[in-house]
């Protein structure tokens, strides 16, 4: 059997990072986590760090903002996964979306980093994770009487369970089909308009919700008048739920691939199954 790549995960103690660490170790990759020395003594992280060590994960003391320690860590592995960029693409492909500010500014920085990486000839796989279930769906599940819908509610959006995102990510590591491509995690059962999502939730709770539609011009006004970081979150929602920038283009096989088609063996959690937990 071929030797599996050594993986360094930056941001491995964060909410999605820990899922990626666990998926990497479970898949049998020699797994390394860049971690600040101070983090080792944080009480709230102790259970997670103990779990990592029991899974055979190696800690490398360093800091993303300390170039010397970062380079030293990178030299020990074959592949680097940074949760500063994956899946922190704000839920969309920065090369395809055209959001309003302030998201436009941050997306532009992400795109510049892609260009520099490409120019240096560094092999790159971009994971487009779309919306995290844990961030968006529990909020809907709290709605028992009224729900606010951005725009018309007809834009198609992709919702993914965080563990599935981590599993698909690790699957790409030693897969030559993903070299220098974007991998979109767009499982067909997880693509919904917000209207469709609300309808699904209404069926589960056996109740019709009052629907309040927030028009585009009001959303843009709210973005302009809100302080940071609220304006950033609103601009992400505008890009996703109003403009539909997760799904308003075709995936071109020569440059982009879809995860659930590449890895049909992964039993991903559907939106229907996930919402069922809250009934």
The domain locations on the chain are: 1-84, 85-278
Are 22 and 55 in contact by the 8 Å Cβ rule? The answer is yes
Residue in 4, 110, 211, 243 annotated catalytic: 110
Taking the C-alpha atoms of residue 126 and residue 114, their distance in angstroms, rounded to an integer, is 9
Taking the C-alpha atoms of residue 238 and residue 241, their distance in angstroms, rounded to an integer, is 6
What would the DSSP string read from start to end of the chain?
Answer: -PPPPPEEEETTTSTTHHHHHHHHHHTT--EEEEE-GGGGG-GGGHHHHHHHHHTTPEEEE--TT-HHHHHHHHTT-SEEEETTTSSTTTTS-TTT--PPTTHHHHHHHHHHHHHHHHHTT---EEEE--EEHHHHHHHHHT-SSEEEEETTS-SEEEEE-HHHHHHHHHHHTT-GGGTTEEEE---GGGEEEHHHHHHHHHHHHT-PPEEEEE-HHHHHHHHHHSPTTHHHHHHHHIIIIIS-TTTSS---TTTEEEHHHH-TT--PPPHHHHHGGG-
Query: Is residue 72 annotated as part of the catalytic site, yes or no?
Result: no
> Can 1-84 and 85-278 be said to share one CATH topology?
no
Structure tokens at 17: 């990072």
pLDDT, block means (10 residues), the chain with 279 residues: 90 94 98 97 96 98 95 97 74 92 94 93 94 95 96 98 97 96 96 98 98 98 97 96 95 87 98 97
Are 131 and 92 in contact by the 8 Å Cβ rule? The answer is no
| CATH number for the domain running over 85-278 | 3.90.25.10
Q: Over the stretch 32-89, which tens digit does the pLDDT of each residue have?
A: 999 999 999 999 999 999 999 999 999 999 999 999 999 999 999 999 999 877 545 6
- The sign of the torsion formed by the CA atoms of 269, 270, 275, 279 equals negative
Taking the C-alpha atoms of residue 147 and residue 57, their distance in angstroms, rounded to an integer, is 43
Rg of the chain in Å (alpha carbons): 20
CATH superfamily assigned to domain 1-84: NAD(P)-binding Rossmann-like Domain (3.40.50.720)
pLDDT score at 252: 81
211 φ/ψ angles, rounded to the nearest 5 degrees: -110, 125
| pTM for the model | 0.95
């Amino acid at each position: 059997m071929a030797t599996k790549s050594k993986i360094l995960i930056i941001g491995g103690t964060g909410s999605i990072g820990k899922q990626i660490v666990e998926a990497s170790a479970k898949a049998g990759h020699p797994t390394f986590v860049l971690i600040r020395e101070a983090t080792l003594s944080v009480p709230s992280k102790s259970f997670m760090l103990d779990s990592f060590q029991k899974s055979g994960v190696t800690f490398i003391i360093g800091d993303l903002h300390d170039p010397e320690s970062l380079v030293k860590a990178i030299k020990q592995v074959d592949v680097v996964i940074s949760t500063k960029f994956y899946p922190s693409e704000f839920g969309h492909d920065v090369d395809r979306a055209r959001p309003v500010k302030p998201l436009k500014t941050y997306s532009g920085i992400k795109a510049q980093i892609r260009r520099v990486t490409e120019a240096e000839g560094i092999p790159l796989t971009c994971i487009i994770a779309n919306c995290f279930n844990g961030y968006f769906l529990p909020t809907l599940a709290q709605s028992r009487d009224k729900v606010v819908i951005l725009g018309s509610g007809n834009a198609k959006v992709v919702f993914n369970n965080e563990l599935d995102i981590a599993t698909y990510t690790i699957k790409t590591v030693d897969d030559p089909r993903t070299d220098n491509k974007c991998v979109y995690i767009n499982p067909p059962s997880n693509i919904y308009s917000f209207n469709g999502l609300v309808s699904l939730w209404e069926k589960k709770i056996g109740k019709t919700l009052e629907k309040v539609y927030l028009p585009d011009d009001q959303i843009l006004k709210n973005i302009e008048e809100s302080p940071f970081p609220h304006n950033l979150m609103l601009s992400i929602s505008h890009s996703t739920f109003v403009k539909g920038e997760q799904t308003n283009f075709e995936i071109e096989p020569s440059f982009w691939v879809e995860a659930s088609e590449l890895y049909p063996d992964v039993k991903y959690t559907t939106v229907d199954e996930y919402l069922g937990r809250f009934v």
